[in-house]
Amino acid sequence: MIRWYALGVAVLDFVLIIYGFWHHYNFQNSEFQLRESYTWIPQLGISWSVAVDGLSMPLIVLSGLVTTLAIVAAWKINHKPRLFYFLMLFMYSAQLGVFAAQDLVLFFLMWELELLPVYLLISIWGGKQRFYAATKFILYTAAGSVFILVAALVMAFAGDTVTFDMQTLGNRHYPIALELVAYAGFLIAYGVKLPIFPLHTWLPDAHSQASAPVSMILAGVLLKMGGYGLMRMNLEMLPHAHTYFAPVLAVLGVVNIIYGALLAFSQDNLKRRLAYSSISHMGFVLIGIASFTELGMNGAILQMLSHGLIAAALFFLSGVTYERTHTLAMAKMGGMAKEMPKAFALFTAGSMASLALPGMSGFVGELSVFLGVTTSSVYSSSFKVVIVLLAAVGLILTPIYLLSLLRQVFFGKNNSGIIIEKYLGDAKAREIFVTACLLIPIIGIGLYPKLVTQTYDVKTVAVAAQMRQSLPLIVQEESPLYSGTFTAPQLAKTKAQPILGVTQY
């Protein structure tokens, strides 16, 4: 009864999300829509204000899909099921609150409310080192959250009136020093969640100890909260500071890609390898955000959506494998393709999507990021060449560690030291259904990207135009952050430049 109730609530909420956006959301409007605002604490200018636009709408849909499927994936949870499903639904609410909040205090509260369910889900239903992983998670993310509150207070008290309304704060003009301080605070907080090197060390431990349904949400949705925060606040609300920090984000993106890929290859634990793969793929999001082009920002959002689906599928399948073998050590596996041909086929499809096979969503997202950087008129040619070449190294390393994973787990001879639960057999109908619900949109987006890009195209064009308007001031000031290795951003020589049918203004 508890399982069916939780699933019924999740499905009903997801259906309402789809219905609301299908009938009441205008894809051609870059402004906030479906706004609801109620005065909460008028003395401090705090309100319960929610709305959606092109940045948040696709992530809300992703959150609904992945969380609903995670509840289906957790169907065999028998230990404290009432608490488990309560925490799953509680976390569902917090996710939607983060993506919809238009008041910085409300955003901060929703961000904090999401931490407690994850901590409990790991510490109660996790592996042997679950307490260590859960404590590390809560310390890193809670400490990072403090910077959100500090930056929010700095922005709220900077004007004549105190307000936490994000749209009002985004229209204010701040001294550049204050804007840089706020930007740095948000960057640290979202850098922990994304995660960005060197704030990433909590993620492999959390993934390796969390159960498969929790890992699905952690990789599929919660990491995207960091990317969303960077685009919503750092990029959209603090555009002048972003022009200083953008080259830093691009460099950190390259570091994430190469560092995450190299460490993924060195992991013997199945879920730790997938966790470092997530760190590597999030590097493309940083590069897209730093590109100053709508094509690059489109790629960043598409990469977040694509990785959310792919990572959720792979972590779920790792849980399917663990249920049969009771181990995550790849050295103890081998020859499982004969024992589990259906699971092998699904795992292979997910791995192909993760390594950006053409025809799948991963390829479109990474290609858009590359095109966005190379066609940017902001950076010097030498800087763009270095960034693209180093990022391309990740495209070489990713197939190496993913194909190596498939070889170690599914090919070769059966390991005599491992006992496969014969009564479980191959992937069951429920497990095939969950994976198929993730693979179908992965392939659909890969073949026809407009399925999702049309939901945020108008918004990214508006944000990119806002970014380029802030460039002249920074160029005139000749910021020292661009000296030495990096060339200061230069304005485009022409006002319009058509690229792949997309006009850059």
* Domains of the chain by residue range: 1-470
pLDDT in tens, 299-355: 999 999 999 999 999 999 999 998 888 888 888 888 888 888 999 999 999 999 999
pLDDT band with cut points at 50, 70 and 90 for residue 424: low
- For the segment 53-79, the average pLDDT, to the nearest whole number, is 94
Average pLDDT over the chain reads 88
In this prediction, residue 492 carries a pLDDT of: 39
Residue 479 has pLDDT above 50, yes or no: no
For 51, the token pair is 């709305």
Is the pLDDT at 504 greater than 50? The verdict is no
Q: Which pLDDT score is estimated for 416?
A: 56
Of the candidates 210, 208, 213, the one whose C-alpha atom is nearest the C-alpha of residue 74 is: 213
- Helix, strand, coil shares, percent, the chain, to 5: 70, 5, 25
The better pLDDT of the pair 84, 414 is held by: 84
Confidence at 62, pLDDT banded by 50, 70, 90: very high
Name the pLDDT band for 174 (thresholds 50, 70, 90).
confident
Q: Rounded to whole angstroms, what are the CA distances from 376 to 114, 241, 365, 392, 498?
A: 36, 18, 17, 17, 12
- Whether the per-residue pLDDT at 226 is higher than 70: the answer is yes
Summarised one tens digit per residue, pLDDT across range 428-464 is 899 999 999 999 999 999 999 998 999 999 999 888 8
Give me the long-range contacts of 332-335 (CB less than 8 A, separation at least 24).
332/415, 332/417, 332/418, 333/270, 333/408, 333/409, 333/410, 333/415, 333/418, 334/408, 334/409, 334/410, 334/411, 334/412, 334/413, 334/414, 334/415, 334/418, 335/410, 335/411, 335/412, 335/413, 335/414, 335/415
Percent of the chain with pLDDT over 90: 68
Burial of 419 (0-12, 13-18, 19+ CB in 10 A): exposed
**Main-chain phi, psi angles of 41, to 5 degrees:** -125, 85
If pLDDT is split at 50, 70 and 90, which confidence band does 422 have? Answer: low
Pick from 291, 463, 469: which is nearest to 384 by CA?
291
The Cα 309–Cα 217 span in angstroms is 10
Q: Which residue has the higher pLDDT, 331 or 150?
A: 150
Closest CA to 342 of 468, 430, 407, 416: 430
Ranges 57-66, 82-91, 112-121, 484-493: which has the least confidence? 484-493
Instruction: Find all residues with CB under 8 Å of 284, minimum gap 6, and list them.
Output: 253, 257, 299, 300, 303, 365, 366, 369, 391, 394
DSSP string, 320-337: HHHHHHS--BGGG---HH
pLDDT above 80 (res 38): yes
pTM: 0.90
Q: How confident is the model at residue 415 (pLDDT cuts 50, 70, 90)?
A: low
> Which stretches within 38-171 are classed as H helix?
57-73, 81-100, 104-113, 115-125, 130-156, 166-171
Residues facing residue 503 across a β-bridge: 498
Residues whose CB is less than 8 angstroms from the CB of residue 484 and which lie 6 or more positions away in sequence, other chains included: none
Contact in structure between 246 and 292 (CB atoms under 8 Å): yes
Q: C-alpha distances in angstroms, 204 versus 118, 147, 263, 355, 391?
A: 14, 23, 10, 19, 22
How many Å apart are CA 475 and CA 250, to the nearest integer? 18
Predicted local distance difference test score (pLDDT) of residue 345: 94
Q: pLDDT tens-digit profile of 466-476?
A: 887 777 655 44
Looking at the predicted structure, is the pLDDT value of residue 87 above 50? yes
DSSP state of 291: T
Instruction: Check pLDDT > 60 for residue 75.
Output: yes
Q: Specify the pLDDT at position 23.
A: 92
Instruction: Give yes or no for residue 250 having a pLDDT over 90.
Output: yes
Query: Chain-centre distance of CA 197, in angstroms?
Result: 15
